[in-house]
Structure 1
């Protein structure tokens, strides 16, 4: 029996969340018929859910066009997740330090289904390949963070995830063949790091290492992204991978000191 078939499952809550999820870059604003069509509900149901979400402050309605869009309050859930994430709080000072030392973009990503969600990000002050805000999801199969995370799983689970992924060829360099991906993940498991070269964004060279919980299970990946205009793979492996591994070890074994915490205006001991 699926979780949706359980007597504990609240369908109305699920539908309300689906209405919120329907708003994205392609559907920045919608009227009631568009909401109904996108979510797959009746127009009357769309009206009730939109009204309720507007009353709660999660949606806003344009008085003239009658179109709905997300309100700033919709950020609250995601913001509270970032505030309450113990791994992110512990990692942030080290991410910032690595960003300052290398001058390159540093990220922390967690798995969510077939994607990696970037929950921590410190962009390069000198250059950035693309704009990628916190909360952005990238495919697990073709990203260094995804491969680093997968390298900590058993082969059967890795194969299951790869087979469930659609694996589109996003650039001419994207690796989509399952056998080739399994070989790359096996190599990452052996070496302790993963990489991808222009597989999601052209001009992007990304390297990542996994982070594990106290039981030895992978929970996230530490990633650094550089431009292929300034970095070769050989140079990145020699100079950046040791720093990634060192930072990952610090995150796993040592609480950040007060000096590292200063930019965040929070005392680690006081917060927990």
Structure 2
């Protein structure tokens, strides 16, 4: 479960090959970012050999890059000496992204008020092709550690916010995202058949919101509404999630669909 939820579709390994013909592309910077990306799916400190293998570079190059990033505060030694971990300077860039993102700035006060009213989990996600990435998380008391973290991501094709975003795209774009997605089910109830996913996207287009039942987490019901960017195309979504032990689906929709839709309109205005 954690493997699929961390960063689906975000593997940057071998990114050098995609840019070899770009005369402005700086390969050394690309390799350094590949080294940092080695930690995306890791559950523990990484050795130099593991970093080198993930970044597809030799161990000597990995050693030089890791040393440089350690000196700059982006990588640190694990306190038990078992390998390397990301360091605190990375959070400076996370802060820069969030505070300078106009959608996050506009959405935050609206989401805080929504969370006070609904007393269920409220999230803001940003659209990143095959995944949506959480930029704000206002959790309920039931949440697990991973579910509280900004930067966590879920697949676009099977999440409530992701399907709401898909409902605002052209059919050809929807088909392309579905076709390129790794549709390995996250739960026994994850919908993976392209035709079924398209039907759910069409349903979201008609209703103005997407509803998912236990497709990301067992026992979870979620509503998602898309948020447009400056160009009118979907840039993100609001997710509102609750527990099926507390709510019948029809009651959840009746209670929260109008509230989340109103919040989305407030953010857009």
Fold conserved between structures, TM > 0.5 = yes
Residue range with higher mean Cα deviation, 2-11 or 14-23:
2-11
Structure 1 partner of 2:243: 227
Q: CA deviation at 1:6?
A: 0.6
1:169-188 equivalent positions in 2, closer than 5 A: 169-188=185-204
SS of aligned partner of 1:5:
coil
Bigger Rg over Cα: 1
The 8 Å contact of residues 197 and 205 in structure 1, kept in 2 or not, is answered as yes
Q: CA deviation at 1:84?
A: 1.1
The 8 Å contact of residues 129 and 204 in structure 1, kept in 2 or not, is answered as no
The 8 Å contact of residues 45 and 82 in structure 2, kept in 1 or not, is answered as no
Cα distance in 2 for residues equivalent to 1:51 and 1:18: 15
Is 1:17 matched with 2:33?
yes
Structure 1 partner of 2:258: 242
Is 1:84 matched with 2:100?
yes
For the structure 1 residues 77 and 12, does the alpha-carbon distance in structure 2 shift closer, same or farther, using more than 3 Å as the test?
same
Which consecutive residues of structure 1, in runs of 5 or more, have no partner in the other structure? 254-272
For the structure 1 residues 21 and 91, does the alpha-carbon distance in structure 2 shift closer, same or farther, using more than 3 Å as the test?
same
Deviations along 1:221-253, one digit per CA (max 9) or x if unpaired, are: 111000000111101111100001100111111
Residue range with higher mean Cα deviation, 240-249 or 52-61:
52-61
TM-score by length of 1: 0.87
Structure 1 partner of 2:45: 29
Q: CA deviation at 1:192?
A: 0.5
1:1-272 equivalent positions in 2, closer than 5 A: 3-24=19-40, 26=42, 28-61=44-77, 65=81, 67-124=83-140, 126-128=141-143, 131-132=146-147, 133-253=149-269
Q: CA deviation at 1:204?
A: 0.5
Which consecutive residues of structure 2, in runs of 5 or more, have no partner in the other structure? 1-16
May I ask how many residue pairs the two structures share in their alignment? 252
Deviations along 1:5-37, one digit per CA (max 9) or x if unpaired, are: 210111110110010111245353222222212
Residue range with higher mean Cα deviation, 177-186 or 74-83:
74-83
SS of aligned partner of 2:73:
coil
Q: CA deviation at 1:127?
A: 3.5
Q: CA deviation at 1:95?
A: 0.3
SS of aligned partner of 1:237:
helix
Cα distance in 2 for residues equivalent to 1:35 and 1:54: 14
Cα distance in 2 for residues equivalent to 1:105 and 1:225: 5
The 8 Å contact of residues 127 and 234 in structure 2, kept in 1 or not, is answered as no
Structure 2 partner of 1:261: none
TM-score by length of 2: 0.88
The 8 Å contact of residues 129 and 203 in structure 1, kept in 2 or not, is answered as no
Q: CA deviation at 1:38?
A: 2.1
